């Protein structure tokens, strides 16, 4: 039962249905907002989907159980099949009587004084001429070297190793599944570097800071440089890259460049660039502090987003809360960032803390633009955005998966097996040299049109070579 084809087919259908469900429904590990999507369906459907595990089909017990059962079925089926296939490849063929049971048996009647030795030579030669070099000589149980009058059968086989191809294919799938299982031991992490980090020592994750996204490495890592290449005359990114230096203490042990589709492997870990872009959250801005009364610049400050500084000569603390590459206001008066739009105005949202007349700290929000705008805030100072630098960032992923080599070998076995199963199909032609006739038949798959054609050609050669030995005409196979 567990090794049956019926079970295999049922499991294939169930796996297909499960995969369709997982492909159509948003999956939590792939679609970040899957939870929100399901909540939007309403409480009932959200509950049904999450309880049935449809929001993570491929990691759920149902799918993994089906996969496990499929692996068991395939293992048992392959073990049973392989015994037969090995017998077919390595075993000697047995004598088969009667030969005429095959629908495509051809018969050539020999003259009464026909020479069977000559017939055998001709048949062997005909086999070889048609690429069937592996020929076994089989005698009927009654016939022996002492009793040469028994039937002699010559069995020629082509692509006999092809009999193992379906087994190799199945083993390949099992090996892939084992490799996938080893994937649970994988380690993967990610880190983001900005232009400000270039050339600086960047300690790899230590045990203290290890998290889901950060796996401790056995060495330190430094990003010497990174950047992007754009297409000529365009701002579209062609590729992005980073120069990595791996360090043991202060000693560089390895260095190399990673780029899209060109990862770097060291110590089993592969490092590859994942995302590149502008890190607006790390922008650096230069502001002029303007005395509103005199309409004159009194000082200049430079700070990064998130940084707080004291404006020189004042009692103001300024924090750059957010930078807008292209600033716009919504209908509600809320500022939004439109991204990098040519001709647009940048802005920086400031959080300013000063001391009021009562000596108490007072905080207000102000928007610094490249020009002085009307402001509802009545304070002596205004802020003018003079310059902004948005650094590029690069997100680097790294991963180590002990299942990789296993999966690759599985794929190789699968492909060799597939090629063998469809393009190197074993075929077998059996010729029985009897005292009064030569019988030919092909054995194997019913759809083997090529084997039948080869049988025709071999028959033609034998008829030609043994022309004087055989009766004219072709006799239809006997009905059995």
Partner 1 sequence: MISGVRFFDAAAAGYAVAFFALVISRVLRKHRVGQVGTILFAVAFLAQSVGLALRGVALGAFPVTNTYESLVFYGWVFALGYLVLLALGHLSDRIRTEIGIGVGLMAAAFMALASSPLRSPDVVPLVPALRSHWLALHVSLVFVGEGFFTVAFAAGVFYLFASRRSRESRGELLERLDTLAYRAIAIGFPFFTLGGLFFGAIWAKHAWGRYWGWDPKETFMLVTWLVYVLYLHLRIRRDWRGRKAAWIAVLGFLLALFTFAGVNFLIRGLHSYA
* Binding stretches for partner 1 (CB under 8 A): 5, 8-9, 12-13, 15-16, 19-20, 22-24, 27, 29-30, 58, 180, 188, 231, 234, 236-240, 260-263, 270, 272, 274, 397-399, 401, 404, 407-408, 411, 414-415, 418-419, 422-423, 445, 447
Helix, strand and coil content of the chain, in percent to the nearest 5, comes to: 35, 35, 35
Q: For residue 239, what is the DSSP state?
A: E
- Residue 248 has a CB neighbour count (10 Å cut-off) of 11
Nearer to partner 1 by C-beta: 13 or 336? 13
> C-beta of 365: minimal distance to partner 1 in Å?
36
Minimum CB separation from partner 1 for residue 208, in Å? 25
Measured from the CB atom, the residue of 40 and 336 that comes closer to partner 1 is: 40
Task: Classify strands 237-248 and 220-230 as parallel, antiparallel or unpaired.
Answer: antiparallel
29 or 252: CB nearest partner 1: 29
> Shortest gap between Cβ of 17 and partner 1 (angstroms)?
9
The Cα–Cα gap between 394 and 279 comes to 9
Which CB, 40 or 310, lies closer to partner 1? Answer: 40
Taking the complex as a whole, the smallest distance from the CB of residue 8 to partner 1 amounts, in Å, to 7
How many helices, marked H, and strands, marked E, lie in the chain? 8, 22
Q: How far is the CB of 184 from partner 1 (least distance, A)?
A: 13
Closer by beta carbon to partner 1, 255 or else 395:
395
Find residue 153's DSSP bridge partners. 138, 432
| Distance of closest approach, residue 414 Cβ to partner 1, in angstroms | 7
Structure tokens at 463: 């008829």
For residue 305, the number of C-alpha atoms closer than 13 Å in the C-beta half-sphere is 18
Backbone angles phi, psi at 385, to 5 degrees: -80, 115
- Rounded to a whole number of angstroms, the CA Rg of the chain reads 39
What are φ and ψ of residue 230, in 5° steps?
A: -110, 160
Q: Are strands 308-310 and 237-248 parallel, antiparallel or unpaired?
A: unpaired
Closer residue to partner 1 (CB): 347 or 413:
413
Q: Give dist(CA 65, CA 357) in Å, integer.
A: 72
Select 9 or 297, whichever has its Cβ closest to partner 1.
9
Q: Is the distance from CB of 394 to CB of 408 less than 8 angstroms?
A: no
Least separation, in Å, of the C-beta of 86 and partner 1? 19
From CA 55, how far away is CA 9, in angstroms rounded?
A: 26
384 to each of 206, 265, 271, how far by Cα in Å?
A: 42, 48, 42
How far from each other are the two terminal CA atoms of the chain, in whole angstroms? 34
Query: Please, what is the minimum distance in Å from the beta carbon of residue 12 to partner 1?
Result: 5
Distance CA 346, CA 388 (A): 8
φ/ψ (deg, to 5) at 290:
-110, 135
Q: In terms of CB distance, is 368 or 455 closer to partner 1?
A: 455
Rounded least distance, CB 409 to partner 1, Å:
12
**Pick from 263, 88, 243: which is nearest to 162 by CA?**
88
Closest approach, Cβ 275 to partner 1, in A, equals: 10
Instruction: Give whichever of 340 and 399 is closer to partner 1, judged by the CB atom.
Output: 399
Query: Is 165 or 305 the residue whose CB approaches partner 1 more closely?
Result: 165
Closest by alpha carbon to 288, among 173, 169, 382?
382
3-state secondary structure of 432: strand
Smallest distance, partner 1 to C-beta of residue 261, A: 4
CB nearer partner 1, residue 109 or residue 243:
243
Q: Smaller CB distance to partner 1: residue 124 or 397? A: 397
Query: Can you give the three-state secondary structure of 391-406, one letter per residue?
Result: CEEEEEEEEECCCHHH
- Shortest reach from residue 276's CB to partner 1, in Å: 8
Q: How does 198-219 read in b/e, with b if 16+ C-beta sit within 10 Å?
A: beeebebbeeeeeeeebbebeb
């Amino acid at each position: 039962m567990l090794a049956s084809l019926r079970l295999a087919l049922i499991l294939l259908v169930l796996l297909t249905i499960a995969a369709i469900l997982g492909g159509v429904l948003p999956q939590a590990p792939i679609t970040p907002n899957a939870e929100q999507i399901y909540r939007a369906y309403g409480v009932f459907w959200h509950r049904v989907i999450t309880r049935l595990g449809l929001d993570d089909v491929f990691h759920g017990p149902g799918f993994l159980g089906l996969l496990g059962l499929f692996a068991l079925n395939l293992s048992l089926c392959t073990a049973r099949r392989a015994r037969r296939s090995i017998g077919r490849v390595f075993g000697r063929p047995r004598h088969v009587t009667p030969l005429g049971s095959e629908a495509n048996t051809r018969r050539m009647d020999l003259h009464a004084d026909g020479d069977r030795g000559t017939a055998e030579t001709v048949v062997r030669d005909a086999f070889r001429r048609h690429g069937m070099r592996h020929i076994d000589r089989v005698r009927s149980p009654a016939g022996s070297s002492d009793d040469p009058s028994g039937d002699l059968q010559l069995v020629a086989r082509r692509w006999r190793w092809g009999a193992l191809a379906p087994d190799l294919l199945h083993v390949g799938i099992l090996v892939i599944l084992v490799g996938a299982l080893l994937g649970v031991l994988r380690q993967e992490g990610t880190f983001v570097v900005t232009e400000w980090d270039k050339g600086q020592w960047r300690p790899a994750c230590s045990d203290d800071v290890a998290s889901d996204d950060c796996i401790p490495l056995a060495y330190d890592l430094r990003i010497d440089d990174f950047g992007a290449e754009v297409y000529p005359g365009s701002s579209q990114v062609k590729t992005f890259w980073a120069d990595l230096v791996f360090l043991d203490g202060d000693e560089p042990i390895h260095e190399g460049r990673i780029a899209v589709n060109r990862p770097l492997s060291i110590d089993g870990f592969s490092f590859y660039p994942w995302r590149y872009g502008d890190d607006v959250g790390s922008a650096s801005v230069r502001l002029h502090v303007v005395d509103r009364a005199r309409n004159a610049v009194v000082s200049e400050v430079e700070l990064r987003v998130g940084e707080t500084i004291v404006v020189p000569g004042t009692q103001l603390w300024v924090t750059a809360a957010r930078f807008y590459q292209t600033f716009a206001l919504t209908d509600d008066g809320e500022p939004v960032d439109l991204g990098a739009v040519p001709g647009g105005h940048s802005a920086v949202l400031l959080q300013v803390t000063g001391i009021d007349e009562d000596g108490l700290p007072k905080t207000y929000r102000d928007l610094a633009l490249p020009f002085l705008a009307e402001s509802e805030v009545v304070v002596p100072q205004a802020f003018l955005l003079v310059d902004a630098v948005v650094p590029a960032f690069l997100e680097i992923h790294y991963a180590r998966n002990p299942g990789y080599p296993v999966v690759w070998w599985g794929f190789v076995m699968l492909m060799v097996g597939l090629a063998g199963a469809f393009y190197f199909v074993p075929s077998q032609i059996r010729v029985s040299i009897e005292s009064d006739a030569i019988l030919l038949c092909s054995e194997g798959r019913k759809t083997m049109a090529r084997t039948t054609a080869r049988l025709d050609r071999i028959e033609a050669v034998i008829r030609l070579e043994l022309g004087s030995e055989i009766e004219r005409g072709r006799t239809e196979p006997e009905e059995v």
